[in-house]
Structure 1
Amino acid sequence: MHTRLLIAVAAMAFATCAMAAPPTTLVLQRGGTTTPTTSALGGAPITSLELDPAMVGGDADSGDDFGPQPIVNRSVAHGHGGGHGMGNGKRAKSHPELLGGFDGLNFHDQRYANGGNQFSVEPPDQGLCTGNGFIMESVNDVLAIYDNAGNKLVGPVDLNTFYGYSAAINRGTGAYGPSITDPSCYYDAGTQRWFQIVLTLDRIGTTSALAGTNHLDIAVSQTSNPTGAWNIYHLPVQNNGTQGTPDHGCADGFCLGDYPHIGADANAIFLTTNEFSLFGPGFYGAQIYVISKKALASGAASPNVVLFNGGDPSITAPAFAVIPAISSGGQFAGAHGGTEYLLSSDAVFYDSGTSSTVWLWSVSNTQAIDSAPTAVTLNYTPLTVQQYAVPTSLAHQKPGSTPLLDCFATPSCAALLGYPSIVYPGPRDLAVNDSRMEQVSFANGKVWGTLDTDVLLSDGSHGSGINYFVINPNSGGLFVNGTLALPDANLTYGAAAVTQSGRGVIAFTVVGVNDYPSAGYASFDAKIGAGDVNIAMTGAGPWDGFTGIPYLGGGRPRWGDYGAASADGNTIWIASEYIAQTCTLAQYLTAPLFQCGGTRGALGNWATRISTIQL
């Protein structure tokens, strides 16, 4: 369903618009250079050390902790809301706007890249960006570059090697490299540069223990061709007074720059994080980093950068997952000396798990970032929207072959995995998102955003749908606001991209009792809202990954943290997690062992689908 709201509903809210304290000046230093180079796939099918000890059980959207070190709750969700509406969307019968697509990176690529000196990792997350005839996809923890026909030019490239680090885990010596997570990327048409970011956690030497220092690594292409050379920058985000960072007083001495996302306006690159204590409990507010885009693009030694601390007492808005807008084709807001818009939601802060407010943030006077960086200003204001809610339950999926679970239930097979035999109880459900804001776009003078919300399905159970917004940033009015949902399936991890003319697409995963995890999308318009649900590629079988299984981290059965979509002219590229393969236990045990003909790994089978849509 959708509701058209064509007049300003937030005039009073704009009257209470607040300005934050001045930003803090930081130091960003250029490191080395890199060129993406395809790494060999190989290594043993399974080892005695498959999971990064620093990340076991880590869950950016559930409240589960990391493993023994660090111990950190990376969610602030207080409660879950009940379904506020019935899923009554429709499935499209044909897909004439779908030009084609291809399978992107998958679990097999991740685990066996760099000769197998990688960990088993899920969820993949999704960092997709497009432009100048190229498509770049990065996930946890590999990247690949394609041409517009879907031909792979480079990849898979493990992210440790791309950023100039030693392997994630050296299978020969047992030495650990830095722990990398949460990739994201952006192509800037104005500078004709590619920007790729990750969060990197340092180790104590080559041991598994974390040092506490962590940083956003920023790779910037030296030309418009992403297959060429890149410059690397390092931005410390432990915010404890070391390495030029401010001291935010995080428990046990180190903050964590979790869940980094990237956006841009004409003058600056914006990186946002959720700041938690790394080794102790506590959330300390979203962080907004503003970096000179001109300096990054030119390869300057130390580009100007300033930080707005969302946990500062002067900021009265609940700052969590404040997502900066991405613009296509160099279309930016020029008012007030250059302005970048950001969106966030706040249902996670309430015991009810519901809210009727989203927050519109604006960073203005961005033209000052090169000459007087502390003159950049931050404002924020609440907007009244249709009620949304933190989803209450896991998503059911269509039953099918799950050889990993079957292997655990078979003692002789479980012994090959190196674990005791166990029968997994109940159906294999998978996690949906909380209600944090997902991808944000600025196009046609409007701000476009999505978040996941709880909905009521036709069988009376709770499910996940996608709440969407098209906002007039000048008045706070809503052009359109509604919820996209199906009566018999979950839609989750929605990500919207919009062309300069204002035509958009929301990408997501479709999963339910009649659907294997599938790549889906819907049109997105400022007048009529979201269109019918289309299936870009139907899932081939059920998700069969390691998270949620005892002995392998337990916690929630992880599915994803975010998807991605990217506008390139009148074409929109979307990337969603789905399941591209299925196999039986007998096939799982056929050489190459546990890989089902090279379509999966021993402990997981996630895949991604990249699709192109003509608007």
Structure 2
Amino acid sequence: MKKNYLLFTLSLLCFAAVFGQDKLPPTEVITGTFIGKTQPLRDFPTFKPSALNGESTEVMVPNDSRTAMEYVETTTVINNLQTEKGKIITQPIEENFVGASNSESGFFPPDPTGAVGPDHYVHSVNSIVKIFDKAGNLEVGPVSLSAFLGINSNAGDPIVLYDQLADRWVVSEFGSLNNSLAIGVSETNDPAGAYNVYQYVFSGFPDYPKYGVWHDGYYGTVNLNGQTTQAFVMDRAEMLAGAADPQIQIFNLPQIVVNPNQVKSPGAVSLLGTSVDTSAPGYITYLQDDGWTSQITFDHLKIWEIDVDWDNPNNSTVSQPLELPTDPFDAGELFGNGNGAIRQPGTSQRLAGHGGIISFPTYYRSFADHNSWLITFNTFIDANETGGIRWIELRNDDVSDWSIFQEGTYSIADDNSRLMSSASMDAAGNIAMGYTTASENLAVSLRYTGRFDGDPLGEMTVAETVIIDGPGVRTNSNRYGDYSHMSIDPNNFTFWFTSDYFSSNNFWATQVASFSLSGGFAADIGAISIDEPNDGVLTANEAVEVTIRNFGTTAQSGFPVELYLDGNLEATEIFSGTINAGETGTYSFNQTLDLSNTPETYTIEVVTDLSGDEFEPNNSVSKEVNSLLALDVGAVAITSPETGTGLGMQTVSIEIENFGGNPQSNFDVQYSLDGGTPVVETFAGTVNPGEIVSYDFTQQANFTELKEYEITASTALSGDLEPANDSFTITIENLICQPNLNCELGDGLQLVSIAEINNVSECEGYADFRNQIANLGAGSTNDITFTTGFGRQNVKVWVDLNDDFSFTADEVVVPNFVIAPGEGAGSYTETVDLILPSNAPLGEHIMRVKTRRGTPVPDACGDIGFGEVEDYTVNIGELGVNDYEISNSDFVVTTLGNNKFDVSLKTSFDGGVFLGVYNTLGQEVAFNKAVSKEGDAYKVTLDMSNMSSGVYLLKMGGQTTTSYKTGRIIVE
């Protein structure tokens, strides 16, 4: 979503009739290849991968990467966030067990999937399938997917479905034929029995396949060749019958705009329950983020209808899309900033969070007066790439097209990302959502939340519940997931969720959990929200109003309700009305509360006390209420500037909070720098109670010098009753940029040698060697030598001639060149010219050396890629005549054989000349301080026959000059 989002109201086009316009036929119809009927799944041997006991032997399942990696910067800060967890306590988790593990599969990521039937849970990850009973006991497996499906290929992306309309099972993965999917459909309702297996060959690689059960087909989507997406429908009836040649009808989706990265996955409708209008078309949906391209002018969902005719595919059609504007979102990118959007504790390695796709599955449930379709996907919620989950409930009915009934963004304000969700809906319309959560303080872990039908729209009201806290992290790849899977029990109330975490460092495991929101109890009442009072200037007689939900299956009335203040019972009163099953009612206490002390935080609790209540944990709700001062504002944050590089003159931006109970405006604000004279201005806007607003000072501050600065911001409201919260202070620093690249494989710099600098170093990523100084002359050409431990190393050098701590194109003194093109790990040394301009200012300046493997070094400050950055100092002086004579000399090394070399320096210089010999570690191995001159050249024969084989560096120059020449020899 772009920052400049326009909320269209009257100007939005009416899309109601779009489904009827310009329908298109299938792009292609393909016929499946019948592989045959398998033996019963239970009869296959247990899969035991050999030599797959360590992380180094894992096989990575690749995403189809024919689209170039692209990083799209986060542009939207989303305001409609649910930042507080729900408070409703539901039934405890029923089953919670390990589904599969790294050691069983040998592949990563696992791509977990699973479906629940009347008596079993079938679970699959890349390469294997397992069957559990509904108590979590393993009955079958692990069985090799390739052996079971008879395709001799474990290429990945498994999907398991339970077809509740037919009481059958579907198991699939990539096929063994080029660009194919292998689909197995159970012959009976026994998941451990025999399956009929088909392979379908697509026109390109069908990456990231996702399916759903519908009355007239299995509807699905694929990420075709990593470049576009297609929808398709499999002939479900023929596959269930075990026919020899069931078809797939494939459709291009009109007007779709795919995300700029690799995985482009719309969602296909997937039926919950068994109630469905058999005349209804199938549906496909996809998100459209206006941050992707100018083709998308506002954030929205697209929905397509597909009508299939199996007797005559020419009659099948896909509609033009219905467009539904959403609240702004930022769908992000598959790999976040190129490393990953999911942060982990204790490592710089991030994980891929999968943005720009519809989460799997997208469930549809039919009710008496409407149909609901549940959609979820990832969204960044701030500029730090913190992940949140956008969830949307669509509704339609017999006369109305799809519209957004409710939407929310689930991202609790605890600095943890929440993402990679899967959600479902029970028969009462209650929603459950499972997901991953992680951050720099929390390893990848699994949670779920939910809401009850009738709760406040856009909110997940159920308390966040831990499925498992992951103890490990991944440090050897950014791959995670690639998806999770929630299904619902045929009882229509029990949710089953699976996803993956790291059971130890670099070892994944999947977890399977089942839970219910509705316990199915006859008697179950609970208070769910305290609606009044709220924060404000409160009195000694505040009324209390509460909402009560009947979680049970029978109507309830005449039950006690208790009111507590700060833990003390204030009143017990009787709710005399009637609340029907699944509905809510409100109650206003006769007893009032004294909340007049200021400033004070009071805790109010309401508890229902229904006789015979079958689940008491959801009886109570509590709320903190703040009794506020009338006049109280303060500066609570300084948002700009921040610690960074090249700060210079900066605008000071602050946040002001109204802690009081009355709106405030036209008061003074000020800032001071390092205790200096304050800059005072007037805030002319209005800040309402509890609101935080931003203010940008007109007068800028000077942060040019490289140092730390203390900034203090304050408010000066006349009559402010709490001066202690008026001010806010931060310390920032103006830095030279210090990009930290990855040099762990040998990339980067092991030696930098120029003039007096002869620096051998290890892998640092960024290293500050500014205490090492090379004395050079303005207008001089100087030899600079580099050694690296990995080939294909691009190198560029800058000197910050104007000392503004910004390395610009006109300050490049060694243009980009490549050491050891086409080579891998090893030791490679290269000497090139460093040329200073004749007008280079005298004095000391920073010299930056930067390397990057594989591609040219783009700039001095970027931190993406393999390589290294090192900073040094050059002291530019005026070269004397002798320096120019050495700089303009000819340095020639001739190999004589038997590791002997003639070394010659042809020059007009007549002073003393030295020759030094160094290994690639920068250690001096030989030195001749007085080389004789023969005619117009200084000459010496160098005998290296007693030296170890390898590369050696030569330096030859005047004993009293700053200039010298360098060369390289190889001793065999």
TM-score above 0.5, yes or no? yes
Tell me which amino acid in the other structure corresponds to 2:35: G
Indicate how the Cα distance of structure 1 residues 610 and 92 shifts in structure 2: closer, same or farther if over 3 A, else same: same
Bigger CA radius of gyration: 2
Unpaired stretches in structure 2, ≥5 consecutive residues? 1-8, 259-263, 519-972
Aligned counterpart, 1:304 = 247
Structure 1 gaps of 5+ residues are 1-6, 66-71, 112-119, 167-177, 203-212, 240-254, 278-282, 400-425, 548-556, 584-602
Partner secondary structure for residue 15 of structure 2 = helix
Which residue of the partner structure matches residue 448 of structure 1?
Answer: 374
Looking at both structures, which has the greater relative contact order when contacts are Cα pairs under 8 Å and sequence separation is at least 6?
1
What is the deviation of 1:93?
A: 6.4
Structure 1 residues 157, 330: closer, same or farther in 2, change over 3 A? same
Q: 1:153-210 deviations in whole A, cap 9, x for unaligned?
A: 11212211121133xxxxxxxxxxx3421111211111111112212354xxxxxxxx
**In the alignment, what sits opposite 1:594?**
none
TM-score by length of 1: 0.71
2:419/2:435 contact within 8 Å kept: yes
Q: Aligned equivalents of 1:9 and 1:258: distance in 2?
A: 38
2:48 corresponds to:
41
> Which residue identity does 2:57 align to in structure 1?
E
Residue of structure 2 equivalent to 1:198: 173
Q: Does 1:390 align with 2:331?
A: yes
Query: In the alignment, residue 21 of structure 1 is paired with which amino acid?
Result: L
Q: Match for residue 214 of structure 1?
A: 179
Q: Aligned partners of 1:296 and 1:508: how far apart in 2?
A: 32
1-structure distance, mates of 2:404, 2:444: 32
Q: Which letter does structure 2 place at the counterpart of 1:200? A: G
Note closer, same or farther for the CA distance 1:140–1:475 as it changes in structure 2 (3 Å cut). same
Q: Which residue of 1 aligns with 2:421?
A: 494
Q: Give the stretch that moved more between structures: 516-525 or 349-358.
A: 349-358
Shift of 1:503: 2.0
Give the match for residue 471 of structure 2: 541
Aligned mate of 2:137, from 135, 138, 151: 151
Structure 2 residue identity aligned to 1:132: P
Q: Which moved more, 1:301-310 or 1:527-536?
A: 527-536
Tell me, yes or no, if structure 1 residue 50 matches structure 2 residue 44.
no
Query: 2:327 aligns to what SS in structure 1?
Result: strand
1:347 aligned partner = 289
Q: Which has the higher strand share?
A: 2
Structure number with the higher helix fraction is 1
The CA deviation at 1:39 is: 1.4
Structure 2 CA distance, aligned partners of 1:349 and 1:306? 32
Q: What percent identity do the matched residue pairs reach?
A: 19
8 Å CA contact retained: 1:289, 1:307: yes
Match of 1:363, SS state, is: strand
8 Å Cα contact 1:344-1:359 kept in structure 2: yes
Instruction: Write the distance in 1 (CA, Å) between the matches of 2:249 and 2:137.
Output: 39
Supply the distance in 2 between the matched residues of 1:201 and 1:511 (Cα, whole angstroms). Answer: 36
Matches within 5 A, 1:63-462: 65=65, 72-73=66-67, 80-85=74-79, 88-91=82-85, 95-111=89-105, 120-166=106-152, 178-200=153-175, 202=177, 213-237=178-202, 239=203, 255-276=204-225, 283=227, 285-310=228-253, 315-318=254-257, 320-334=264-278, 337-347=279-289, 350-351=292-293, 356-364=299-307, 366=308, 368-369=309-310, 371-379=311-319, 380-391=321-332, 392=336, 394-399=341-346, 426-438=347-359, 439-444=361-366, 445-456=371-382, 461-462=384-385
Q: Give me the CA root mean square deviation.
A: 3.1
Does structure 1 conserve the Cα–Cα contact (< 8 Å) formed by 2:47 and 2:144?
no
- Structure 1 residue 45 displacement after superposition: 5.0
| Counterpart selection for 1:14 from 13, 16, 40 | 16
- Find the counterpart in structure 2 of residue 26 from structure 1: 30
SS of equivalent to 2:314: helix
The equivalent residue for 1:479 is 405
Deviations 1:438-458 (A, max 9, x none): 1201113121110000013xx
> Which of the numbers 566, 569, 572 marks the counterpart of 2:487?
566
Distance 1:341 1:110 in 2: 37
In the alignment, which residue of structure 1 is the partner of 2:390?
467
CA separation of 1:26 and 1:188: change in aligned 2, threshold 3 A: same
Q: SS at 2:93's partner residue?
A: strand
The 1-side partners of 2:69 and 2:157 are apart by 15
Q: Give yes or no for contact 2:500–2:508 (8 Å, CA) kept in 1.
A: no
Q: Distance in 1 between matches of 2:252 and 2:103?
A: 37
Identify if the C-alpha distance between structure 1 residues 498 and 435 changes in structure 2 by more than 3 Å, giving closer, same or farther. Answer: same
Q: 1:78 to 1:562 in 2, by over 3 A?
A: same
User: Which residue of structure 2 lines up, in the alignment, with residue 612 of structure 1?
Assistant: 515
Distance 1:220 1:128, change over 3 A: same
Matches of 1:77 and 1:513 in 2, distance apart?
21
Q: Is the 8 A contact 1:86 1:455 kept in 2?
A: no
> Which residue is equivalent to 1:590?
none
Which secondary structure does the structure 1 equivalent of 2:175 belong to? strand
Aligned partners of 1:476, 1:199: CA distance in 2, in Å? 33
